[in-house]
Amino acid sequence: MHQPILSNYPLPTRLALLGDFAAFIRAGQHQPANKQVPAQTVLLALRAISETHILDGQPDPLADEKGQRHIILKRQIENYRRHDPSPKRKLALPHIAIKYLNVTRADNNPRYQAIHDLCTIAWFLLRVGEYTQTTQTVDAQYNSAWKMSHYGTTHRFFAPPYHSRPYSLNAQLPHFVSQIKRTAAAIK
């Protein structure tokens, strides 16, 4: 299939094509549901065009003379971002569950410790979103409670989620396996 090279077009035509493509993606016309997509999806689609041209040895069609994204496209994406609805945050465990687990963890009952371990696994594996702290929200309060209950104990198998990049689950897999085995043995 023939794919046109955008660098063959003059700048005004190229910007019009890219702007129309961004509007097409934003409107969701590329998917059967025709639902509006967030600005990040539009930006990802434009980056895919950029990377395709760069990998083909062509100049970046999104870049201006300084190598930065054209101001017209920047403004269009920023406008989309301003009109995006605010994200609806979801948590894997409610706040009261974290408090209850912190209280029961102090008990030396193996059954309570096993339940605590299973909830720990659920907290990190089923948590919606990334392991980052972006704003001081209710989510940050949960992370603080987690931090208090696990620092200074020998039972800690995860650092609190305050890192800028997600944890590698492959690196943590041996910890999960040993944790699950110990939990299963304690429940029996």
In this predicted model, what pLDDT tens digit does every residue of 19-28 receive, in sequence order?
999 999 998 8
Does 176 lie in the same domain as 109? yes
Asked whether residue 35 falls in the same domain as residue 106, the answer is no
Same domain, 46 and 69: yes
Whether 1 is in a domain gets the answer no
Question: What pLDDT shows up at residue 79?
Answer: 93
- Ramachandran class of 34: left when φ > 0, alpha when ψ lies in -120 to 50, beta otherwise: left
Q: How far is CA 90 from the centre of its chain?
A: 13
Neighbouring residues of 45: CB distance < 8 A, sequence distance ≥ 6: 21, 22, 25
Residue 123 lies in a domain: yes
Model pLDDT for residues 42-90, shown as the tens digit of each residue: 999 999 888 888 888 888 888 888 888 888 899 999 999 999 988 776 6
Supply the pLDDT for residue 81. Answer: 92
Categorise residue 67: left if φ over 0, alpha if ψ from -120 to 50, beta otherwise. Answer: left
Amino acid identity of residue 162, one-letter, is Y
Local structure of residue 85 (DSSP, 8 states): P
Helices and strands per DSSP (H, E), number in the chain: 7, 0
Predicted confidence at residue 136, as pLDDT, reads 45
User: Does one domain contain both 118 and 175?
Assistant: yes
Give the closest residue to 103 by CA, choosing from 93, 113, 111: 113
- DSSP letter at 31 equals S
In this predicted model, which residue has the larger pLDDT, 165 or 186?
186
**C-alpha dihedral, 110 to 114 to 115 to 120, nearest 10°:** 140
Is residue 88 included in any domain, yes or no?
no
- For the chain, the domain total comes to 2
Check whether residue 116 and residue 38 sit in a common domain.
Answer: no
The reply to whether 75 and 113 lie within a common domain is no
Q: How far apart are CA 166 and CA 159, in angstroms?
A: 12
Does residue 182 sit within a domain?
yes
For residue 7, the model assigns a pLDDT of 76
Q: Last residue of some domain: 29, 61, 83? A: 83
Position 78 in a domain: yes
Cα separation, 53 vs 58, in Å, equals: 5
What is the band of 152 on the pLDDT scale with cuts at 50, 70, 90?
very low
Residue 154 has pLDDT above 70, yes or no: no
Identify whether 106 is part of a domain. Answer: yes
DSSP percent split of the chain into helix, strand, coil, nearest 5: 55, 0, 40
Which of 28-32, 44-48, 90-94, 171-175 is predicted with the least confidence, judged by mean pLDDT? 171-175
The verdict on 52 and 127 lying in the same domain is no
What is the number of other CB atoms lying within 10 angstroms of the CB of residue 151?
10
Q: Is residue 42 part of a domain?
A: yes
Domain that holds residue 40: 6-83
Same domain? 16 vs 73: yes
Which pLDDT score, from 0 to 100, does residue 118 have? 77
- Of the three residues 27, 48, 83, the one that is the final residue of a domain is 83
Q: Is the residue at 119 inside a domain? A: yes
Together in a domain, 100 and 164: yes
- 99 lies in the same domain as 74: no
- Please say if the pLDDT value at position 35 is more than 90: no
Q: Are 141 and 68 found together in one domain? A: no
Confidence of residue 164 (pLDDT cuts 50, 70, 90): very low
**Taking all residues of the chain, what is their mean pLDDT, rounded to a whole number?**
71
The mean per-residue pLDDT over the stretch 151-178 comes to 46
Q: What is the distance, to the nearest Å, from the Cα of residue 2 to the centroid of all Cα atoms in its chain?
A: 35
